[in-house]
Amino acid sequence: MADSSMLQVTGLRFAYPECAVLEGVSLAWPAGLALVQGDESTGKTTLLRVLAGELVPQAGDIVLQGVPQRSAPQAYRAQVFWQDPRSTALDEITARQWLAGLPAQYPAWDAAALASHVEGFSLEPHLDKPFFALSTGSRRKVLMAGGFASGAALTLIDEPVAGLDKPSINYLVQVLARAASDPARLVVVAHYEALLGVAWGSTLTLARAR
């Protein structure tokens, strides 16, 4: 694999009890912007959860900036931002409270970037609402604002445009365009197709496992 690879995955396999999802996934991605695409039930979200360390694969190795997920899980996860937009774990706290807790988790946290994302996504009116009161789009925008501001070496974003209004989609495209040239971070986006106006540095297309 190339020395410039930030994320290396070799022979990844993951199966739920009822079905296999990922089989023999290998990749070597540099910093920048990557797209995981595929139809429904092809394993896009599952792959992000495995890369985040939330799910344990049955086979394969994952290495992020030289840190192996299998043998150094805590050091690996410390480099990763992942928040499942479908999870109810944050429902009882406000968006502002959640964002306020992130700087302690991420050493490269960028407060100025967060302020820009709050403005760009028009989030100010929603910051003092609990997550359960947020719309699908507002919830995703809060999570993305935190993820992009985290400075995490690996930032995982699932289905970013679900519920987003057009101005927010336009802002998202601008943020992703900047991420594409960041030499210190890899942003991985899972979506069923490529977003218009985004130049993806790396891509992976998933198909249903047989």
- Residues 187-208: pLDDT tens digits? 999 998 878 889 999 999 998 7
Give the dihedral of Cα atoms 138, 206, 180, 145; nearest 10 deg: 20
Predicted local distance difference test score (pLDDT) of residue 3: 53
Q: What is the pLDDT of residue 2?
A: 40
Q: What is the mean pLDDT of the chain?
A: 94
Q: Torsions phi, psi of 24, nearest 5? A: 65, 35
CATH of 30-55+74-205, one of 3.40.50.300, 3.10.20.600, 3.40.50.460, 3.40.920.10: 3.40.50.300
If we measure between CA atoms, which residue out of 69, 30, 68, 31 comes closest to residue 49?
Answer: 69
Q: What is the CA radius of gyration of the chain?
A: 16
Three-class secondary structure of residue 75 per DSSP:
helix
Domain layout of the chain by residue ranges: 30-55+74-205
Average pLDDT over residues 124-128: 97
pLDDT > 70? residue 37: yes
| pTM for the structure as a whole | 0.94
| CB 181 within 8 Å of CB 24 | no
Instruction: Tell me the per-residue pLDDT of 164-187, one tens digit each, with 9 for 90 and over.
Output: 999 999 999 999 999 999 999 999
Q: Is the pLDDT of residue 96 over 50?
A: yes
pLDDT band at 110 (very low <50, low <70, confident <90, very high): very high
What's the pLDDT score for residue 1? 36
Nearest CA to 209 out of 31, 53, 13 is that of: 13
Q: Tell me if 99 sits within 8 A of 68, measured CB to CB.
A: no
Residue 76 half-sphere exposure toward CB, CA atoms < 13 A: 20
